Structure 1
Amino acid sequence: MCPTIVPLMRETKKEQDIYFTSLIETMKILVATEKPFAKKAVDGIRKIVEDAGYELALLEKYTDKGQLLEAVADVDALIVRSDKVTAEVIAAAKNLKIVVRAGAGYDNVDLAAASARGIVVMNTPGQNSNAVAELALAMMIFMSRNRFTPGTGTELQGKTLGIHAYGNVGRLVGRKGKALGMNVVAYDPFIADGAVFEADGVKKVASVEELYRVSDFLSLHIPATAQTKGSIGYDLMMSMPKGATLVNTARKEVIDEEGVARAMTEREDLKYITDIAAGNQAELDEKFGKRVFATAKKMGAETAEANVNAGLAAANQIVDFLKNGNTRFQVNK
């Protein structure tokens, strides 16, 4: 039997590196997106993955969980958007080493199940931040102008903008608010250094209660955790100034929906706008009319730029992890 002849020459060193890497092991990276990335993002992800010597697989617009379970069976890495990576999905992915959620929030990934298997979970912080920040300001203008219907509205200039959680998005909201002439205050218990706020010309308040008490517009950016779920409701809304607006581009789960409805019932000056509909949205719409609004779907990151940025960041992070072990953006440490 003739031995296998291995061609030793390739046109470029990159091609040689890719070829010999593939002889040892070809890692498979799956992009599983019920709502696909833009073509530009997919093309960019493919280039990053294949230039690194890995195989790219796509599962787009899938309609059944069984399709996802089948697709993950032999993959080493997984990129998702808002797709649910449950314990069942993780159990089906026998070779899985890393999951990257292309976006900031990662509550759609079962962190406990991933950690139990030693699977690294990352997000792509900052890639969607500008898109979310612009939406938050647009929502403030929309509500201050009576949802663009006839009637006398108000201006943002001179109003106090409160930012609940001063991370990537919160900082951008603050900067854009200041550019519109707003007074900006913020609360974030995880940032002890007051210089972070001072550098942006933002006043740091001492408590969440103080934040809501002084904010004409409150922009919410907290994650959905055991501590924050259902934490924004009746008491905080009732403490807000006359005519105040609560803007939620964070997560539905952080809102106490019954509490918000109760506060808006007792105070006819309060407003609430969100980019993810409440469970009782129909009731809110019927009762409060123009004082409440929810977009048809979560749209904070729904820009062409954010779509591409998050996808490329996810691919780069996976390659860096598989080649170099970089876990900088790991969220299940």
Structure 2
Amino acid sequence: MAKILVATVKPFAPAAVEGIEDIAQNANYEVALLEKYESNDQLLEAVADADALIVRSDKVTKEVIEAGKNLKIVVRGGAGYDNVDLEAATANNVVVMNTPGQNSNAVAELALGMMVYLARGGYNGKAGTELRGKSIGIHAYGNVGRYVGEIAKGFGMEVKAFDPFKEKAEIEKDGVKVVDSIEELYSTCQYVSLHIPSNDKTKKSIGYELLSKMPENGVLVNTARKEVIDEDGLVKAMEARADLQYISDIAPDNKDVFAEKFEGRYFFTPKKMGAQTAEANINAGIAAVNQIINFLEKDDRTFQVNK
């Protein structure tokens, strides 16, 4: 009987775990749980006899992959997969997948929720501003970006997008205006919602040059990864312009600078919370176990990311 290990420092919701176990057991797979583990040694021991591994934000390093002597597939429950060593996985013939789209609505709702929170001054009792009539630029029009646009239109915002990897017609059919460059997106939108992945090309790509182009009262909304932000450049831009604001669902490394210099002009969630809804949690867990079974039984590699 093949064994699926669910290893999560931040566990899936109980309903998600129950769903994973039901689906796996009905397909004659064993499920092992390693939740809230405190050391990497515990993960190394648990993965030793696993055929498949499901994680969330847990680090799947070369050491973990090599410890899994029977390991054939790793599924990251969520869209991002920079916590998995793809090179090591490929070298050891381990397929890596993510579960795109399962967390998308949760992340999009958080982005708009944080925008409302900051626009209203953190509900401090003073007059704020409204989102209706404001412009929002979506930097990368994937699953999350599409939902952000959909919700933003419901607020009455003007929605633009830049994504060189998407067909223009595909974006325009959603009633979204396509711009031709990143510079145009940042210079014409009061709000910019960031959804690019973290990789060698994007790390520290959002900094002073782009942010200084934003219109008056510009707001950068980051529900992607903190690594894509040039934090020194962001601080420089906010020092140069007292109207710029920054919202993120993960605090930057230089968060103390924000507390010292930019009171009322930023908001950070206590931890990365984009996928922290019951619905997203369940969706990602169920998708992960189904993808494992489909791969092991049908060689379905639809969501493989280490091709």
Report the TM-score range of the alignment, normalised by the length of the smaller protein: over 0.9
For residue 150 of structure 1, report the CA deviation from its aligned partner: 3.0
Q: Which amino acid aligns with 1:310?
A: A
Q: Structure 2 unaligned runs (5+)? A: none
Alignment of 1:1-333 (within 5 A): 26-191=1-166, 193-333=167-307
TM-score w.r.t. the length of structure 1 is 0.91
Q: Write out per-residue CA displacement over residues 98-128 of structure 1, whole angstroms, 9 at most, x where no aligned residue.
A: 0000000000000000011111000000000
For residue 152 of structure 1, report the CA deviation from its aligned partner: 2.4
Q: Structure 1 unaligned runs (5+)? A: 1-25
Q: 2: CA distance between counterparts of 1:164 and 1:32?
A: 32
Q: 2: CA distance between counterparts of 1:282 and 1:295?
A: 14
Paired residues of 1:107 and 1:224 also in contact (CA < 8 A): yes
Paired residue for 1:3? none
Is the deviation greater in 151-160 or in 257-266? 151-160
RMSD over equivalenced CA pairs, Å: 0.7
Paired residues of 1:33 and 1:61 also in contact (CA < 8 A): yes
Paired residues of 1:224 and 1:254 also in contact (CA < 8 A): yes
Paired residues of 1:285 and 1:293 also in contact (CA < 8 A): no
**What secondary structure sits across from 1:148 in the alignment?**
coil
For residue 285 of structure 1, report the CA deviation from its aligned partner: 1.6
Q: Write out per-residue CA displacement over residues 16-48 of structure 1, whole angstroms, 9 at most, x where no aligned residue.
A: xxxxxxxxxx11110000011111100100011
**What secondary structure sits across from 1:175 in the alignment?**
helix
- Structure index of larger Rg: 1
Q: Which amino acid aligns with 1:161?
A: I
Q: 1: CA distance between counterparts of 2:123 and 2:162?
A: 30
Identity, % of aligned positions:
64
Q: Which amino acid aligns with 1:78?
A: L
Q: 2: CA distance between counterparts of 1:225 and 1:188?
A: 16
Q: 1: CA distance between counterparts of 2:189 and 2:122?
A: 20
For residue 151 of structure 1, report the CA deviation from its aligned partner: 2.5
TM-score w.r.t. the length of structure 2 is 0.99
For residue 251 of structure 1, report the CA deviation from its aligned partner: 0.3
For residue 195 of structure 1, report the CA deviation from its aligned partner: 1.1
Q: 2: CA distance between counterparts of 1:218 and 1:151?
A: 24
Count the aligned residue pairs. Answer: 307
Paired residues of 1:134 and 1:173 also in contact (CA < 8 A): yes
Q: 2: CA distance between counterparts of 1:150 and 1:49?
A: 51
Q: Write out per-residue CA displacement over residues 161-181 of structure 1, whole angstroms, 9 at most, x where no aligned residue.
A: 100000000000001101111
